[in-house]
Amino acid sequence: MDYIELKKMTFHAFHGVFPQERKTGNIFTVDLRIGIDLSIASVSDSLKDTVDYALIFEIVKGEMSIPSNLLEHVAGRIIRSIKGRFPEVKGVEIRLSKHNPPVNGQMDESAVVMFA
């Protein structure tokens, strides 16, 4: 299988279970790996034979703007939205991380990785 990858998409968003997270927000990073057959696009050189990653970015941006308690929920929504908009996508791997999560100590990020 072929892949399109979008790395280090960064957003300020309002995900978290604590009221302060929902009020002030945090920085989140999204990495995507999208499984798709790229053989036709590799010959045709036409955007119509692949997925437009600018549209993928807009999907991710839209889903990141909807507050959720859990990273798992946000990641699942992103996967469902991409697969719903682009039926030619065979699979999506997402890594969604929250920078400086609210823990009693030092941690750079917490993250979920999902496949569908």
Any idea where the domains of the chain sit in the sequence?
A: 2-115
Residue 25 has pLDDT above 90, yes or no: yes
CA–CA gap between residue 46 and residue 54 (Å, rounded): 15
Helix (H, G, I), strand (E, B) or coil at 90: coil
Mean pLDDT of 78-93: 98
Average pLDDT of the chain to the nearest whole number = 96
CA–CA gap between residue 30 and residue 69 (Å, rounded): 17
In this prediction, residue 11 carries a pLDDT of 98
Confidence at 102, pLDDT banded by 50, 70, 90: confident
What is the helix, strand, coil percentage profile of the chain, to 5?
Answer: 35, 35, 30
Whether 98 is catalytic: yes
Of the candidates 48, 83, 90, 98, the residue annotated as catalytic is 98
Residue 62 has pLDDT above 90, yes or no: yes
Q: How would CATH label the architecture of 2-115?
A: 2-Layer Sandwich (3.30)
